[in-house]
Structure 1
């Protein structure tokens, strides 16, 4: 990955995580005030969810900065997998907040109560909707430029918060019209949506931690780039994985038996540069094989 690309990645993940943390803290303060003034159960549920959000955002704030640290003696492949650990933690927080929301909502369905001064809860919720819209916009902008799995997890539960806040507004209005149980049913629906989204983030994080092969399109693109050099006879054993922002690529080049070492090295460097130009966030490791010892069964990608 080029220095410019790294700088952009670091800038966007730091900007998104810092803004998210500040915005979440402001929402907690406003919701705490609204709950204290109204004694509203639905506002308490929203406040509880916001506390989970801040905890998750704090994880991102520190873990993303750790993941951006350069390789060292103990972590020669970098610290990128810390980002996937953050994504896994995000998934757990989302599940936890969803379960808590369901339990609270069931209690609300059993014992529905009228709200005190609901207009204060409305004002606090409108403020939360506005802040969440701004926050999600910043996160989406950062995700488009970084594809960060931790930011995806953070953005998911804030998008869910946006739906929850809108549902809170609707529940407040319905409660004022005499439908006291509606806030509970809305909250349960949102909690189920949260769980479904958390499942996707959790699976994606686990796939990265387990070094799952990247989509087949990457291998096809790598083979096309390599075969564009007429001095290369074939390519096999293409392997790919991702750790944070870095994509690790390995493959074997099939070269002429009679090449000098310096010539084989020159071809390898040119192929590596070609791959890096097309996949700038990649680290490429290439092994050279004489064409005469390349066995067909070792070459499932090239087919030669």
Structure 2
């Protein structure tokens, strides 16, 4: 089995496990919410429901983005990941708004009602924490092997989910042991704010990619460092990048000795491309070769 096929199967396994865990947690937390009536449980239920949608979208994006370029999509299909992420962020924002509004309303009304059956709720949330930790461990192993950014992002997202889950346990405990009913609403409001900030971050990253924003400055500096002083390369210019899902497209003009053979110039460009891909294996690199000292023709476009 080739390394590419093996990596694809590992990525798909991480996506399938993510969906399975999210579905299990949605069912379990729905039961827990019916038993307790806790807004903190409702917040984690909404979070898990969003997780399920995001995991399904991530799985679809992994499968679709893995398709090779074709006649209709010459640069591949990785932008599907950004479209999915942008849609997810809007849904998460709506969910956080509903939860936050309910929490503020309870705090404003001073509702003294306490959650019920706190023990059942604590047990379900504890199960959620255990399953989430197991999923994150597997996703980290897969990401370390495949370097897939979708799996990495999903892992970070689930790791962040541990915060509202721990908060829900604290809220249920405070309600049961101390009779502090409003702790439940405060925790739910905090969870809603975390959801909103996470949705804005995900949405901004997806929007930036869809608008062809350049790659991270660290990556651009890294590519420049590789090209600078590369054997046979006398200089470079017009280094441009753009992101599309998990793929980064790189365009680079290098300056070569114009008196050498075309075969030699090609070999230098190919070697530089391999060096860039070795450091950034998810990139798509296109290198244009210019003779040293060549001047741009006045009829050439400015971009």
Indicate the TM-score class for this superposition, using the shorter chain for normalisation.
Answer: 0.7 to 0.9
Cα gap change, 1:179 to 1:278, in 2 (>3 Å) = closer
CA distance in 1, matches of 2:222, 2:152: 26
Structure 1 residue 21 displacement after superposition? 0.9
Structure 1 residue 148 displacement after superposition? 4.7
CA distance in 2, matches of 1:118, 1:186: 15
Contact 1:255 1:264 in 2 (8 A): yes
1:102 equivalent to 2:100? Answer yes
Query: Counterpart of 1:118?
Result: 118
CA distance in 2, matches of 1:104, 1:226: 55
SS of alignment partner, residue 137 of structure 1? helix
CA distance in 2, matches of 1:124, 1:269: 55
TM-align CA RMSD? 2.7
Cα gap change, 1:231 to 1:43, in 2 (>3 Å) = closer
Please, which runs of 5 or more residues in structure 2 have no aligned partner?
Answer: none
CA distance in 2, matches of 1:40, 1:227: 59
Structure 1 residue 65 displacement after superposition? 1.1
CA distance in 1, matches of 2:128, 2:67: 33
Query: Counterpart of 1:91?
Result: 89
Query: Counterpart of 2:56?
Result: 58
Q: Give runs of aligned pairs for residues 22-37 of structure 1, distance below 5 A.
A: 22-37=20-35
Query: Counterpart of 1:239?
Result: 240
CA distance in 1, matches of 2:112, 2:146: 45
Please, which runs of 5 or more residues in structure 1 have no aligned partner?
Answer: 299-304
SS of alignment partner, residue 227 of structure 2? helix
1:73 equivalent to 2:37? Answer no
Q: Structure 1 residues 193-202 or 165-174, which shifts more?
A: 193-202
Cα gap change, 1:76 to 1:62, in 2 (>3 Å) = same
CA distance in 2, matches of 1:294, 1:33: 71
String of CA shifts for 1:191-250, please: whole Å, max 9, x gaps. 212222222222222222222222344344334433444433221111122333333221
Q: How many residues align?
A: 293
Structure 1 residue 71 displacement after superposition? 0.9
Structure 1 residue 77 displacement after superposition? 0.6
CA distance in 2, matches of 1:41, 1:164: 11
CA distance in 1, matches of 2:156, 2:102: 22
Contact 2:43 2:192 in 1 (8 A): no
SS of alignment partner, residue 114 of structure 2? coil
Q: Structure 1 residues 22-31 or 208-217, which shifts more?
A: 208-217
